């Protein structure tokens, strides 16, 4: 990385040939008579296709006290239909060489499968049955609730997942849906009944709020024929409001949250603030700023903490993109003894990126990476289908993937500085450290980051 | 579906595989060095992996961390990984950047040592120690990675010791170790190079010759110590680990036929019948029907020497003790051992494996990695095109022969994790009632 090394070897380095053109796969949007949207990208590389059903039933939808219902409902789709019990349903999919994943993220429920060409028609048919006629058997409702409780119990011994979850809890105001885990808490999951699931399903699962994305070895006409056969007589209301939640922060001043895990060999550190919504005009500049700060292996934060100091195996920052403002955060796991030294370096990097424009070589590293890596991201049918689902979910323009690289290349060092100043808020940042209190507490207090609150691993203030 | 394959060998022994695919303007470069943790000497556990980190610290004409920077600036992705039997390094880049990648890989294969310094070694040692803490010591059940092979292979066996290494051995690693390891194992004759994707074959071959042909071999690699293993353990090996975990988890291993051998495919299908996805036996019986387990899966290690391992991995539900979990898993295995599998189960498993295989081959990097694997282990990358047929050829009789021979009580090793403080139980309300001894 030294200037000497660069001049010494620059002569020997092969440069690139002229770049070859790339186009994101062409896709077509169609709409069935019942309002269901179809998005098809024919990709004929291998005899395989991926199907995603995107349903307007995200985790932000639902009633207070029943957090987790969107995910539970999604998972229950596969636990039996009116004509087929759960184990049999799984068997029928797997005999087609495929398995279905169903889950809810903040802004939608996503049900997806990948199958060989010869099985794609029957697999979509079966998927139709799953989406249109789930039975929600009482026994399976109770079983999946118990599995979520087991997952929550397991999480208490998993420092990474626990730190992520605790961080978002302290970041958003308590009435925000984002302050409660997507999958719900012990209390909220326990409260959900089979009738609640049925009601949620009836409310959110509508043809007009559903998009079927198919990418792979199939034509648009063929896809439409299968979709018509499967979904055309699915009826339902044609007006579906989008769900919203508050995305307001819990505090406007800094605070330090320490989760006590005696004898932890590393400290999990999370630092950040509420970021910006996905459709914000600063999206591209924020992506580039983040790449320079902590998004890439060669970012400032990772090179500093890992390659310069050896404090960690990795340190990264990211924006969690949602329809509303998701978190912006820096995450790392550092050797317990180096916790505060590492945090100080992160704070230095945050101040630095807000104080002065990044160097043009840093900007070009980030933009040429994001530009060049673009075609590599879409090699597989599930990546292409996923990208199209994102397009639908965030109502992005149809030419989004065609113009993405031009937008990224247009970001300037002045943009990066402005974004860092506008969207990273040191005076309001929250920091969470999950680690061994005996090792980290003294040095953390000396850091004077902000008022300190201690929690146990169950999240109770101690 | 057939992957096109062209191979050649440079005079210095470097084996090269080319596989064209022009559907997107990207190209993958993948190198396998036939060295892994199995080749480490006593007192230097973890060295193969630490050495992998050093390969990103520059070479004669490349600055420290510059490898990462050059590839990312070119718009590419990259990484490396270490396994018991091999170490790999890989990049996927826009196709017009292929020459740069070949130059970089050749530079570190040929001229790594001038760039090695004590300071770089010390920093990477700290990084690796933090990797160990992150992936193992501070992660529930994380130590299974080193405890399971240690339980299954005898102390003198090359697969016995820890891949990531002990803190003491990492401390002991010196620059002299870096030099001798490099000279012994990072040679053209001990490596294979694979290029897949959008490239022009004649030009690519010229580049490969220009950059790699001048690299010299070392004194040759020492042979591995004896890897031979019996077909069964001979008894039921057991280890119980009291750990900072909330739920009991059982890893139940069986000695099984080595990767690529005729019987391997039956073993692999057996693993899929036991624990691939929700229609598998263990999931159906333990997770869905009897609700004893929170998750269940099974897989093979894919080792090519001595013996492979088939591993069943089941986590208990809250309230289920470790003993109970082990008993119930063993009952399922006993049942399969006594009654075998059905043709329907074999069909389900093979169809799923075929879809997974096809899905994976969509990516240039995956294709390259598998071609390198078959080139390294069997000197025949074209085996990539025979795998689906080999799985399709597996019959219920084949699987049942494996089941009878290998799922017996005298071929089991259980590594059982249980909560240090007893088992967590839940009240019916979902509140946690606390700890029972």
**Could you tell me where the DSSP H helices lie in A330-373?**
339-355, 360-372
Number of other CB atoms surrounding residue B256 within 10 Å: 29
- Helix (H) or strand (E) segment spanning residue A416: helix A413-423
pLDDT at A456: 95
CA A90/CA A75 separation, integer angstroms: 12
Beta strands at B15-20 and B191-197: parallel, antiparallel or unpaired: parallel
Residue bearing tokens 């403080």? B421
pLDDT at B423: 44
CA B89/CA A364 separation, integer angstroms: 25
CA B400/CA A363 separation, integer angstroms: 60
- The pTM of this model reads 0.94
Strands (E), B271-364: 293-300, 308-316
Burial of B23 (0-12, 13-18, 19+ CB in 10 A): middle
Q: Given its phi and psi angles, is residue A233 left (phi above 0), alpha (psi -120 to 50 degrees) or beta?
A: alpha
Q: How big is the CA angle at A175 (ends A173 and A176), to the nearest 5 degrees?
A: 70
What residues of chain B, 18 to 77, have a C-beta less than 8 Å from chain A? Answer: 21, 23-26, 58, 61-66, 68-70, 72-77
Q: In this predicted model, which residue has the larger pLDDT, A3 or A354?
A: A354
Residues of B in contact with A153 (CB under 8 A): 246-247, 318, 424, 426, 432
Q: Which of B280, B24, B351 is nearest to A116 (CA)?
A: B351
Does A239 score more than 90 pLDDT? no
Torsion B103-B104-B107-B108 (CA) sign: negative
- Helix (H) or strand (E) segment spanning residue B194: strand B191-197
Number of other CB atoms surrounding residue B160 within 10 Å: 17
The structure tokens listed for A42 are 């024919």
- Residues A47-63 have pLDDT tens digits of 999 999 999 999 999 98
Does A8 score more than 90 pLDDT? no
Cβ-contact B387, B23 below 8 angstroms: no
Does A65 score more than 90 pLDDT? yes
Cβ-contact A108, A223 below 8 angstroms: no
Q: Which of B325, B324, B321 is nearest to B437 (CA)?
A: B321
> For A137-160, what is the mean pLDDT?
95
Does A180 score more than 50 pLDDT? yes
CA B346/CA A8 separation, integer angstroms: 60
pLDDT at B427: 36
Question: Distance between the two ends of chain B, CA-based, in angstroms?
Answer: 57
Say whether residue B189 is in contact with chain A using an 8 A CB cutoff.
no
Residues of B in contact with A460 (CB under 8 A): none
Residues of A in contact with B100 (CB under 8 A): 13-16
Say whether residue A355 is in contact with chain B using an 8 A CB cutoff.
no
Does A5 score more than 70 pLDDT? no
CA A387/CA A183 separation, integer angstroms: 23
Are B429 and A94 within 8 A, CB to CB? no
Which of B60, B133, B208, B314 is most worth mutating to test chain A (most A CB atoms within 10 A of its CB)? B133
pLDDT at A437: 96
Q: Where are the domains of chain B?
A: 6-212, 236-436
CA B260/CA B395 separation, integer angstroms: 17
Torsion of CA A268, A274, A275, A278, to 10 degrees: 110
CA A395/CA A279 separation, integer angstroms: 8
CA B373/CA B260 separation, integer angstroms: 11
Number of other CB atoms surrounding residue B148 within 10 Å: 21
Q: Which of B259, B435, B265, B285 is nearest to B350 (CA)?
A: B265
Are A333 and B130 within 8 A, CB to CB? yes
The structure tokens listed for A83 are 């004509």
What residues of chain B, 194 to 233, have a C-beta less than 8 Å from chain A? Answer: 198, 207
In eight-state DSSP terms, residue A18 is P
Beta strands at B308-316 and B293-300: parallel, antiparallel or unpaired: antiparallel
- Helix (H) or strand (E) segment spanning residue B28: strand B26-33
Does A292 score more than 80 pLDDT? yes
Domains observed in chain A: 28-231 (3.30.830.10), 255-455 (3.30.830.10)
Say whether residue B171 is in contact with chain A using an 8 A CB cutoff.
no
Q: How far is CA B40 from CA A424, B143, B175, B249, in A?
A: 47, 20, 15, 30
pLDDT at B430: 32
- Helix (H) or strand (E) segment spanning residue A257: strand A255-260
Say whether residue A262 is in contact with chain B using an 8 A CB cutoff.
no
Domains B6-212 and B236-436 belong to one CATH topology: yes
CA B150/CA A222 separation, integer angstroms: 54
The structure tokens listed for A122 are 């029957």
Beta strands at B308-316 and B249-256: parallel, antiparallel or unpaired: antiparallel
Cβ-contact B321, B248 below 8 angstroms: yes
Q: Which of the four pLDDT bands, split at 50, 70 and 90, describes residue A11?
A: low
Residue bearing tokens 């039956």? B266
Are A186 and B25 within 8 A, CB to CB? no
Cβ-contact A59, A103 below 8 angstroms: no
Residue bearing tokens 């990797």? B131
User: Which residues lie closer than 8 Å to B186 by C-beta, 6 or more apart?
Assistant: B33, B35, B109, B112
Residues of B in contact with A310 (CB under 8 A): 122-127, 130
Instruction: Say how far residue A381 (Cα) sits from the centre of its chain.
Output: 19
Beta strands at B15-20 and B77-82: parallel, antiparallel or unpaired: unpaired
Are A380 and B362 within 8 A, CB to CB? yes
Say whether residue B81 is in contact with chain A using an 8 A CB cutoff.
no
pLDDT at A240: 84
Cβ-contact A142, A189 below 8 angstroms: no
**Interface confidence (ipTM) of the complex:** 0.93
Residue bearing tokens 């290349």? A409
Burial of B60 (0-12, 13-18, 19+ CB in 10 A): middle
The structure tokens listed for B261 are 């051998």
For chain B, residues with pLDDT lower than 50 are 423-437
The CATH code of domain B6-212 reads 3.30.830.10
Cβ-contact A13, B103 below 8 angstroms: yes
Most distant CA atoms of chain A, gap in Å: 72
What residues of chain A, 371 to 430, have a C-beta less than 8 Å from chain B? Answer: 371-376, 378-382
Nearest Cβ partner of A150 from B64, B318, B364? B318
The structure tokens listed for B79 are 């990484």
Beta strands at A210-216 and A255-260: parallel, antiparallel or unpaired: unpaired
Cβ-contact B13, B192 below 8 angstroms: no
Q: Given its phi and psi angles, is residue A459 left (phi above 0), alpha (psi -120 to 50 degrees) or beta?
A: left
Are B126 and A311 within 8 A, CB to CB? yes
Residue bearing tokens 């699931």? A197
Q: In whole numbers, what is the pLDDT of chain A averaged over residues?
A: 95
pLDDT at B429: 33
Nearest Cβ partner of B75 from A78, A150, A371? A371
Are B23 and A374 within 8 A, CB to CB? no
Q: May I ask the CATH architecture of the domain B236-436?
A: 2-Layer Sandwich (3.30)
Number of other CB atoms surrounding residue B395 within 10 Å: 12
Does A395 score more than 70 pLDDT? yes
> For A164-180, what is the mean pLDDT?
97
Are A190 and B429 within 8 A, CB to CB? yes
CA A389/CA A107 separation, integer angstroms: 11
CA A165/CA B139 separation, integer angstroms: 16
Nearest Cβ partner of A368 from B66, B73, B125? B73
Q: For a pLDDT cut of 90, what percent of chain A falls above it?
A: 94
Rg (CA), chain A: 24
């Amino acid at each position: 990385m030294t200037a000497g090394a660069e001049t010494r070897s620059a002569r020997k380095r092969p440069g690139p040939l002229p770049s070859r053109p790339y186009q994101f796969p062409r896709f077509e949007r169609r709409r069935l008579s019942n309002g269901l949207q179809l998005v098809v990208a024919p990709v004929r590389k291998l005899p395989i296709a991926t199907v995603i059903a995107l349903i307007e039933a995200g985790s932000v939808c639902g009633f207070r006290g029943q957090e987790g219902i969107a995910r539970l409902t999604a998972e229950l789709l596969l636990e039996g239909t009116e004509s087929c019990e759960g184990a049999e349903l799984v068997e029928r999919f797997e005999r087609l060489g495929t398995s279905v994943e169903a889950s809810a993220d903040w802004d939608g429920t996503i049900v997806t499968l990948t199958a060989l060409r010869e099985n794609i028609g029957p697999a979509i048919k079966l998927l139709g049955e799953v989406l249109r006629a789930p039975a929600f058997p009482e026994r399976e409702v109770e079983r999946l609730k118990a599995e979520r409780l087991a997952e929550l119990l397991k999480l208490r011994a998993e420092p990474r997942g626990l730190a992520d979850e605790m961080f978002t809890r302290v970041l958003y105001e308590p009435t925000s849906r984002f302050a409660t885990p997507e999958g719900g808490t012990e209390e909220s999951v326990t409260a959900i009944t089979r009738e609640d699931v049925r009601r949620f399903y009836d409310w959110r699962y509508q043809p007009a709020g559903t998009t079927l994305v198919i990418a792979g070895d199939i034509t648009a006409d063929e896809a439409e024929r299968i979709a018509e056969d499967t979904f055309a007589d699915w009826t339902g209301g044609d007006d579906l409001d989008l769900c919203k939640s508050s995305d307001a922060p819990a505090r406007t001043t800094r605070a330090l949250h320490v989760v006590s895990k005696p004898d932890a060999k590393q400290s999990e550190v999370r630092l950040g603030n509420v970021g910006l919504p996905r459709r914000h005009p600063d999206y591209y500049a924020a992506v580039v700023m983040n790449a320079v700060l902590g998004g890439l292996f060669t970012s400032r934060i990772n090179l500093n903490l890992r390659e310069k100091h050896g404090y960690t195996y990795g340190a990264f920052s990211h924006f969690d993109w949602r329809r509303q403002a998701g978190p912006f955060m820096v995450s790392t796991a550092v050797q317990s003894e180096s916790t505060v030294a590492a945090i100080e370096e992160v704070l230095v990097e945050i101040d630095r990126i807000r104080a002065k424009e990044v160097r043009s070589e840093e900007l070009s590293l980030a933009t040429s990476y994001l530009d060049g890596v673009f075609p590599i991201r879409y090699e597989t049918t599930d990546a292409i289908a996923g990208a199209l689902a994102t397009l639908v979910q965030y109502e992005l323009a149809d030419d989004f993937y065609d113009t993405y690289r031009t937008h990224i290349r247009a970001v300037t060092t002045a943009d990066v500085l402005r974004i860092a100043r506008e969207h990273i808020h040191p005076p309001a940042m929250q920091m969470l450290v999950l680690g061994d209190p005996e090792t980290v507490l003294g040095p953390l207090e000396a850091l004077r980051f902000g008022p300190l609150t201690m929690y146990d691993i169950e999240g109770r203030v101690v | 579906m057939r992957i096109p394959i062209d191979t050649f060998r440079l005079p210095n022994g470097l084996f090269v595989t080319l596989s064209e695919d022009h559907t997107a303007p990207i190209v993958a470069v993948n190198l396998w060095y036939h060295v892994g943790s199995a080749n480490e000497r006593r007192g230097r556990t973890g060295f193969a992996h630490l050495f992998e980190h050093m390969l990103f610290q520059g070479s004669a004409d490349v600055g420290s961390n510059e490898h990462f920077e050059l590839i990312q600036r070119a718009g590419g992705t990259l990484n490396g990984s270490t396994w018991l039997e091999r170490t790999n390094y890989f990049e996927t880049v826009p196709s017009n950047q292929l020459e740069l990648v070949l130059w970089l890989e050749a530079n570190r294969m040929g001229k790594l040592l001038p760039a090695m310094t004590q300071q770089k070694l010390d920093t990477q040692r700290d990084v690796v120690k933090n990797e160990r803490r992150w992936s193992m010591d501070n992660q529930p059940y994380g130590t299974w990675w080193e405890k399971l092979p240690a339980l299954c292979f005898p102390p003198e066996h090359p697969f016995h010791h820890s891949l990531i290494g002990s803190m003491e051995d990492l401390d002991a690693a010196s620059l002299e170790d870096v030099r001798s390891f490099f000279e012994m194992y990072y040679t053209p004759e001990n490596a294979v190079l694979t290029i897949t994707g959008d490239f022009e074959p004649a030009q690519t071959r010229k580049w490969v010759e220009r950059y790699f042909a001048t690299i010299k071999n070392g004194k040759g690699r020492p042979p591995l110590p004896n890897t031979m293993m019996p077909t069964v353990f001979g008894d039921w090996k057991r280890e119980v680990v009291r750990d900072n975990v909330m739920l009991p988890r059982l890893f139940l291993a069986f000695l099984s036929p080595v990767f690529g051998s005729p019987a391997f495919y039956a073993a692999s299908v057996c693993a899929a019948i036991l624990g691939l996805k929700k229609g598998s036996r263990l999931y159906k019986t333990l997770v869905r029907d009897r609700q004893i387990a929170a998750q269940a899966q099974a897989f093979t290690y894919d080792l090519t020497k001595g013996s492979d391992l088939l591993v069943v991995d089941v986590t208990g539900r809250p309230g289920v003790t470790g003993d109970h979990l082990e008993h119930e898993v063993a009952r399922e295995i006993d049942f399969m051992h006594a009654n075998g599998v059905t043709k329907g189960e074999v069909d389900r498993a093979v169809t799923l494996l075929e879809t997974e295989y096809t899905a994976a081959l969509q990516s240039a990097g995956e294709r390259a990695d598998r071609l390198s694997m078959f080139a390294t282990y069997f000197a025949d990358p074209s085996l990539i095109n025979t795998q689906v047929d080999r799985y399709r050829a597996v019959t219920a009789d084949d699987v049942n022969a494996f089941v009878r021979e290998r799922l017996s009580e005298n071929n089991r090793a259980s590594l059982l994790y249980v909560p240090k403080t007893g088992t967590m139980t839940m009240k019916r309300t979902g509140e946690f009632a606390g700890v029972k001894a």
